[in-house]
């Protein structure tokens, strides 16, 4: 008797269990636990009749493969019952651009949060403008008042919460209600929380985007984007991906699926250590403010608590103004925090940022220097010791 495949959609099971079971069927692959990696473009038809009637499970390497199916099914199981399909794209930015292209046409208007990931903004300003789509940036804290910015041709509202440098929380249900009242589609960049800590589709989002490069991959060794769609948006999304010829290499998909298996335990640790470091910073005299929605003092805390079920390991601080020499002394003294873009891997990272360089709808005047931290899986005591040394170097350079 055929055993029930472990990837059978069983949404009664908890997310932690679905992360382990979804998207694999050992019985169909000689008992091996993980799906094999299929390198391939051509798929052969065994007979002329199969060829002439297009009868085959798979047709071409750019479209569905056993590896796209495994990863997309696992992500779909994680999203839950509102998810009609998941598109896999070669980067998080490609996920943002493909999702936008799937809903917008020449003459349309899109509303985009001013806190949006900067390359997404560039896509709107350069590519969408060239294609005849106009963009209006809005205050991320606008909530239901977004209704006032809707134009007759507004087809989409793009959200991101929290902002990946500035950490404003958005009232997604209020924005979604206003957008849907005017028949606009709601997109969200949900990379920070992942589907594990924010059920975007369940809160009114129609297209939920992940930079899979970050927490899904989890090891800083792959590029991936994912877009989870509901029944309203799935077909256009899939057709846009296929029309544009976008696909992901099988090794990256296999590594992403491997990362997904441990997402639950990794995120729990990122959350715990991230909060410990955020609280430590909040008590330091060198720090003006900590931007972390899971802290009770954060202006976005009430929304975070209402809608989200957890926090990941990414947050920012505003350092009280110091000389550039003191800032450099701090950064160069750190030994456990890599200086580099991206995040979501096992290692801790830091960057300097300034949202004033690109914002257009809101002012960014934090009163000090913005530093964004990703808290990795190292021992948190070691991380705090490293930061303590860094601040000692900063204070030494101030004199
Ligand atoms: C990194 C990131 C992206 C883009 O992902 P890539 O895989 O680097 O293209 C999109 N949105 C957010 C919030 C990100 O942090």
| CA distance to 38, 136, 179, per residue, from 41 (Å) | 9, 41, 41
Residue 6 confidence (pLDDT): 46
Assign residue 393 the CATH number of its domain.
Answer: 3.90.1150.10
Structural domain count of the chain: 2
**Is 24 annotated as catalytic?**
no
Spacing, Cα 49 to ligand 1 middle (Å):
45
Pair 103, 194 in one domain? yes
Span 203-256, pLDDT tens digits? 999 999 999 999 999 999 999 999 999 999 999 999 999 999 999 999 999 999
Q: Are residues 239 and 335 in the same domain?
A: no
Active site residue 117: yes
pLDDT 10s digits, 265-315: 999 999 999 999 999 999 999 999 999 999 999 999 999 999 999 999 999
Q: Based on the domain organization, do 177 and 295 belong to the same domain?
A: no
**DSSP state at residue 153:** T
Contact assessment for residue 196 and residue 167, using Cβ atoms and an 8 Å cutoff: no
What is the span of the domain harbouring residue 69?
37-261
CATH number of the CATH domain containing 74: 3.40.640.10
211 alpha carbon to ligand 1 midpoint, in Å?
Answer: 5
Whether the link from the prior residue into 237 is cis, omega within 30° of 0, is no
Which of 117, 137, 197, 215 is catalytic? The answer is 117
- Is there a domain that residue 46 lies in? yes
From 100, 115, 116, 119, the mutation candidate for ligand 1 (largest count of ligand atoms within 8 A of CB) is 119
For residue 243, give every residue at least 6 positions away whose Cβ sits within 8 Å of its Cβ, in sequence order, or none.
none
Judging by DSSP bridges, how do beta strands 348-353 and 287-291 pair with one another? Answer: unpaired
- Give residue 54 CA to ligand 1 midpoint distance, Å: 37
Which of 114, 171, 189, 298 does the annotation list as catalytic?
189
> Could you say which of 230, 261, 292 is where a domain stops?
261
Bridge partners of 289, per DSSP, are 318
CA dist 385 to 223, 369, 399, Å? 32, 21, 22
Domain co-membership, 159 together with 268: no
- pLDDT confidence of 398, banded at 50, 70, 90? confident
Substitution candidate for ligand 1 out of 88, 115, 117 with most atoms within 8 A of CB? 117
Give yes or no: residues 294 and 338 share one domain.
yes
**DSSP calls for 240-300:** HHHHTT----HHHHHHHHHHHHTHHHHHHHHHHHHHHHHHHHHT-TTEEEEE-TTSTTSTT
How many angstroms separate the Cα of 47 from the Cα of each of 40, 43, 64? 20, 12, 21
Model confidence, pTM: 0.96
- Alpha-carbon gap, residue 311 to 208, rounded angstroms: 17
Number of the ligand 1 atom closest to the C-alpha atom of 164: 13
Task: Read off the pLDDT of residues 353-395 as tens digits, 9 standing for 90 and up.
Answer: 999 999 999 999 999 999 999 999 999 999 999 999 999 999 9
What's the CA gap between 248 and 91, in Å, rounded? 9
């Amino acid at each position: 008797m055929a055993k029930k495949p472990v990837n059978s959609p069983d949404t009664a099971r908890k997310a932690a269990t679905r992360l382990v079971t979804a998207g694999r069927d050992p019985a169909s692959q000689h008992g091996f636990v993980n799906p094999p990696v299929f390198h391939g473009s051509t798929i052969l038809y065994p007979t002329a009749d199969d060829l002439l009637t297009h009868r085959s499970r798979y047709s071409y390497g750019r479209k569905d493969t056993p590896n796209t199916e495994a990863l997309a099914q696992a992500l779909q199981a994680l999203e839950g019952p509102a998810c009609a399909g998941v598109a896999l794209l070669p980067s998080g930015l490609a996920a943002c651009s493909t999702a936008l292209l799937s809903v917008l046409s020449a003459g349309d208007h899109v509303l985009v949060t001013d806190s949006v990931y900067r390359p997404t903004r560039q896509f709107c300003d350069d590519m969408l403008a060239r294609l005849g789509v106009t963009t209006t940036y809005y205050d991320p804290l606008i909530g239901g008042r977004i209704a006032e910015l809707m134009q007759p041709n507004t087809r989409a509202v793009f959200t991101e919460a929290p902002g990946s440098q500035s950490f404003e929380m958005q009232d997604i249900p209020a924005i979604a209600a206003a957008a849907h009242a005017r028949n606009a589609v709601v997109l969200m960049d949900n990379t920070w929380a992942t589907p594990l800590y924010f059920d975007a589709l369940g809160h009114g989002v129609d297209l939920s985007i992940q930079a899979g490069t970050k927490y899904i991959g989890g090891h800083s060794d792959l590029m991936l984007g994912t877009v989870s769609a509901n029944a309203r948006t799935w077909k256009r999304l899939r057709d846009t991906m296929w029309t544009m010829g976008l696909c992901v290499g099988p090794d990256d998909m296999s590594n992403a699926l491997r990362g997904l298996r441990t997402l639950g335990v990794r995120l729990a640790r990122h959350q715990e250590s991230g909060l410990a470091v955020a609280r430590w910073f909040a008590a330091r005299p060198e720090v003006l403010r900590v931007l972390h929605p899971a802290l009770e003092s954060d202006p976005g805390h009430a929304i975070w608590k209402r809608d989200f079920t957890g926090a990941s390991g990414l947050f920012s601080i505003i350092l009280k103004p110091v000389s550039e020499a003191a800032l450099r002394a701090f950064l160069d003294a750190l030994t456990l925090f890599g200086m580099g873009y991206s995040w979501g891997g096992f290692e801790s990272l830091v960057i300097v940022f300034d949202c004033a360089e690109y914002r257009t709808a809101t002012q960014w005047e934090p009163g000090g220097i913005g530093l964004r931290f990703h808290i990795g899986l190292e021992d948190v005591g070691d991380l705090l010791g490293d930061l303590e040394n860094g601040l000692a170097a900063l204070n030494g350079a101030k004199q």
